[in-house]
A and B are shown apart, each in its own frame.
Chain A
Amino acid sequence: MSAEEYQYIENPMSVSRREFLSISGALIALTALPAAVVRRMAVKRNDYIRARTAGLYKDDTNAKVRVSHANQGVSRLYQDFLGNPLSEVSEELLHTRYIDRSRAMA
């Protein structure tokens, strides 16, 4: 729009520097503070997940048997009863299949 189409404008100095700083500061604080509070709450909520993860890692480090194929009990179970991994018996006893329960849960 060209300046000829209007002859008057709002005085850009109708807000003093002090008002500008205080209002813009208040607006920024009002939007930033809740964001900081929510972030803190979210981080705090994850504390127990971190604690559990650390506990699991600690258990793993302290465990004598750390992988399933080195577990003598599992090896013996396969040797005496299941045969080999993915055998017919192990498929039937150890594997599950997907059942869509979303309708039942809704």
Chain B
Amino acid sequence: MSTHASILKHPLRVRMFHYFLVLSFIPLAATGVALFLKPFTEAAMNMLMRVHVIAGMVLTLDAAAFFVLALDRVVLFTKRAFTFGLNDVKWFAVLGGYPQKFLLRKKVPVPPMGKYNSGQKLFGACILVGGILLIGTGLSLWLFPHVIPHALAKAFGDIHLIAGLFLTLFLLVHIFLGIYMFDDFKAMFLHGRIPYEEAAEVAPLWVQGEIVALTDRS
């Protein structure tokens, strides 16, 4: 096998979805935290609320478009995110070997993973559930707060706050590990492909079970 062989890991429509997700979720997280803490003047808070609503609309349209135009990718992602097995238990037992690598400079054996490791799967499941909750509650509170019963509006507000804070904390870890896995970072933001050798090392189950050569399909 050529050392220059590469796999298309993130097709263009996935990257497009991710671009808009980055453009919308980072402002949403920043303005959401500011709206929660209220550190600025009333006029500034109103402006932040407008930014939050606009970014929320971008996120909603992005998610809806991806759901409709790339349902196969959504299904694949959901399947992977919600498939847990013994390997995942073993992965969580050593936390993917990251603390040992970062803190002790030690490499510990990690069970073989698929396209996503167990931490990414957990993140994916939280993104899926949390994202649906955030969009659903946010849209309801913005579009028709006057017709929602008071108790339900209060529950929606609480769910929106908890899911938002939870995903914002997760986002920080995601950004850190995303940049740490720099080839994957470049694949997601630039060209979509990662070196075959690296994929075979990091995600052997994915390469063995789900990857096909382009020539095999023709």
Q: Which residues of chain A have a CB within 8 Å of any CB of chain B?
A: 1, 3, 5-12, 14-15, 19-20, 23-24, 27, 30-31, 34-35, 38, 41-42, 45-46
**B75 and A15 contact, CB distance less than 8 A:** yes
What CA separation (Å) do A61 and B63 show in the bound complex? Answer: 51
Contacts of A45 in B (CB 8 A): 147-149
B121 to chain A, nearest CB (A): 15
**A1 and B191 contact, CB distance less than 8 A:** yes
What CA separation (Å) do A46 and B144 show in the bound complex? Answer: 13
A-contact bits for B47-63, CB 8 A (1 contact / 0 none) = 00000000000000000
**B8 and A8 contact, CB distance less than 8 A:** yes
Contacts of A20 in B (CB 8 A): 72, 75
Contacts of B78 in A (CB 8 A): 23, 27
What CA separation (Å) do A8 and B210 show in the bound complex? Answer: 10
**B214 and A9 contact, CB distance less than 8 A:** yes
**A8 and B211 contact, CB distance less than 8 A:** yes
Residue of A nearest to B1 (CB): A7
- B17: interface (CB < 8 Å): no
**A10 and B210 contact, CB distance less than 8 A:** yes
What CA separation (Å) do A3 and B8 show in the bound complex? Answer: 9
A42 touches which one: B8, B144, B193 (CB < 8 A)?
A: B144
Q: Which residues of chain B have a CB within 8 Å of any CB of chain A?
A: 2, 5-9, 12, 67, 71-72, 74-76, 78-79, 115, 132, 136, 140, 144, 147-149, 152, 191-193, 196, 209-215, 217
Residue of B nearest to A13 (CB): B212
Contacts of A35 in B (CB 8 A): 136
**B152 and A8 contact, CB distance less than 8 A:** no
Contacts of A27 in B (CB 8 A): 67, 74-75, 78
Contacts of B209 in A (CB 8 A): 14
Supposing A8-B213, A14-B209, A20-B75 touch, asked if A38 and B148 sit within 8 A by C-beta, the answer is yes
Contacts of A24 in B (CB 8 A): 71, 74-75
Contacts of A11 in B (CB 8 A): 210-212
Residue of A nearest to B144 (CB): A42
Supposing A24-B71, A27-B78 touch, asked if A42 and B6 sit within 8 A by C-beta, the answer is no
Residue of A nearest to B2 (CB): A7
Q: Rank and list the top 10 A-B pairs by shortest CB-CB distance, nearest first.
A: A42-B147, A8-B7, A6-B8, A6-B193, A14-B210, A23-B75, A11-B212, A6-B6, A9-B8, A7-B5
Supposing A5-B191, A9-B211, A9-B214 touch, asked if A41 and B152 sit within 8 A by C-beta, the answer is yes
